[in-house]
Structure 1
Amino acid sequence: MTVTHDERVVREFSKQAPGFADPGRNVAFTRHLDRLVRFMEPELDLEDVVLEVAAGTGLVSRAIAPRVRHATALDLTPAMLAEGKRGADHAGLTNVTFTHGDATALPYLDRSFTLVVTRFSLHQVADPKAVVQEMVRVSRPGAALIIADLVRPDGLDGDPDRIERLRDPSHGTTLTESQIAEFVTAAGAEVKRTERFDHVRPLDPWLEFSQTPDDVAAQIRRELEDELAGGPATGMRPSRTDGVLHFTHSYLFQQSIAE
């Protein structure tokens, strides 16, 4: 039986859901959360009605909840939403709603939200352009749109998506900064400011978090080691520090305004 991309996403993220609720295990997602909130700070308002698209456990919604009127965290994976709801309840947050839904067909009327955000989702979905179009559609004129995602640097050698899919079969396509900007502009919003930075990550915790099978993890490790020895480029920009194998991700924070 053919498995759809959405089914892969739900399967993989159901496995990963407990880790998203644990800052000790999900270092990459939680480490840059404060940085994203600072990036969003100029846009936050106590009257904002916020939508977080493909929200996972709603980390962003929960982080900004004390500074906005209401936040809705929408995601395709029920296990992720359940983890987020538990976290919100534990923190005493009463203005965050968790909703099951498809980011490419948001269940909201046009112009419903004053701030729309998505974090680490465009590289995961099958149709990132449709997600951006939907984000703009449900934004009120003048609303801020925030996209935070993994991006592919221009001129990168190798195919990082192949390694990413080996590690996590639900991975889609890593876009460039210019591709994301094109999607935003075509959907009817204007890019106002961006921030980009690299993050060097140890390989083994990344593989353990996604519960990558041992044989596949060994293949990924071998390919990165081969590149360091002069072999073919993987696109993962491997390095070794104190004997530990690392790789590099590039991240983009982008703020746009809906027209």
Structure 2
Amino acid sequence: MTVFHDEKVVREFSKQAAGFADPRLNAAFTRHLDDLVRFMDPELDLDDNVLEVAAGTALVSRAIAHRVRHVTALDLTPAMLAEGKREADRQGVTNVTFTRGDAAALPYLDRTFTLVVTRFSLHQAADPEAVVKEMARVSRPGAALIIADLVRPEGLAGDPDRIERLRDPSHGTVLTAERIADLVTAAGAEVKRTRSVDVVRPLEPWLELSRTPADAAERIRRELEDELSGGPATGMRPSREDGELHFTHTYLFHHASAG
């Protein structure tokens, strides 16, 4: 099951890799990157040896590289790593290492890193519990664990995962903030602080980034339109701005301390 899911992740994100360098398609990721870096700021140190888990194109790694000693950006999809390496070279970033690997089975010894971060990965993971446990395992005692991800608000009507999977078949499950806190605690880490924010996103760039097939994209548009007209809830909290369909994601920033 996990192997099959990993194959889907590699297939879908190989298609999407080039889009992550396109500001028009990737605005939601880049717009809130500064917010995440500010959230991480108290934990960053020039002596830090950092691991970014499921790093994608290493947006976080590249953003903090000048603030730490070294960052390892690990991801399952070679095309995403290659895109990130091209950007790092273009930006003159020399202290980021790009490594292919599985977030649920990290190829590192216990207590290796002084800060471990993952962004927008748990909702894609077949086994988010394993990912968090691995993050904690490779962290030195007292190291910061930073998780930034989509979360499902309590009491949300509809099933956002169904729409998310229509858009991207490698999507897993959007967890609640409480569930993420439980995973962190179960991994032996202590929750320190959290922050969440609702983000309204335009629909069309989101569909274009994932290269969603036309029939699936049209179904998503139709279901969001139906909800706005009083139809069933999709869980995507649609709205219309300047005549264009939008939807709402909730982002969580979560800081824990490794045991």
Write the letter of the residue equivalent to 2:221. R
Partner of 1:235: 235
Percentage identity across aligned positions?
Answer: 80
Write the letter of the residue equivalent to 1:49. N
Contact 2:24 2:205 in 1 (8 A): no
SS in 1 for 2:74: strand
- CA RMSD in angstroms, aligned pairs only: 1.1
Q: Distance in 1 between matches of 2:3 and 2:97?
A: 30
Write the letter of the residue equivalent to 1:178. E
| Cα displacement string for residues 136-167 of structure 1 (whole angstroms, at most 9, x for unaligned residues) | 00000000000000000000000000000000
Q: Distance in 2 between matches of 1:33 and 1:23?
A: 13
Partner of 2:58: 58
SS in 1 for 2:105: coil
Q: Distance in 2 between matches of 1:140 and 1:47?
A: 13
After the TM superposition, which residues 14-29 of structure 1 pair with which residues of structure 2 at under 5 Å, given as runs? 14-29=14-29
Partner of 2:189: 189
Alignment of 1:105 with 2:109, yes or no, is: no
Q: Distance in 2 between matches of 1:3 and 1:93?
A: 33
Partner of 2:117: 117
SS in 2 for 1:4: helix
| Cα displacement string for residues 191-214 of structure 1 (whole angstroms, at most 9, x for unaligned residues) | 100010000111111111111111
Partner of 1:84: 84
| Cα displacement string for residues 195-242 of structure 1 (whole angstroms, at most 9, x for unaligned residues) | 100001111111111111111111000001111111111000111112
Q: Distance in 2 between matches of 1:218 and 1:24?
A: 21
Write the letter of the residue equivalent to 1:11. R
Deviation, structure 1 residue 183 = 0.2
Deviation, structure 1 residue 22 = 2.5
Q: Distance in 1 between matches of 2:50 and 2:3?
A: 32
TM-score after normalising by structure 2: 0.98
Displacement over 6 Å in runs of 4+ = none
Q: Distance in 1 between matches of 2:23 and 2:194?
A: 26
Write the letter of the residue equivalent to 2:44. L
After the TM superposition, which residues 122-137 of structure 1 pair with which residues of structure 2 at under 5 Å, given as runs? 122-137=122-137
Alignment of 1:256 with 2:246, yes or no, is: no
Q: Distance in 1 between matches of 2:246 and 2:25?
A: 17
The alignment of Structure 1 onto Structure 2 pairs a total of residues equal to 258
After the TM superposition, which residues 32-47 of structure 1 pair with which residues of structure 2 at under 5 Å, given as runs? 32-47=32-47
| Cα displacement string for residues 115-148 of structure 1 (whole angstroms, at most 9, x for unaligned residues) | 0000000000100010000000000000000000
Partner of 2:6: 6
Q: Distance in 2 between matches of 1:137 and 1:70?
A: 19
Deviation, structure 1 residue 3 = 7.8
Write the letter of the residue equivalent to 2:135. M
Partner of 1:30: 30
Contact 2:25 2:208 in 1 (8 A): no
TM-score after normalising by structure 1: 0.98
Deviation, structure 1 residue 75 = 0.1
| Structure 1 pair 172–72 and aligned structure 2 pair: CA distance change class (3 A) | same
Q: Distance in 2 between matches of 1:53 and 1:38?
A: 19
**Structure 1 residues not aligned, in runs of 5+:** none
Partner of 2:170: 170
Partner of 2:219: 219
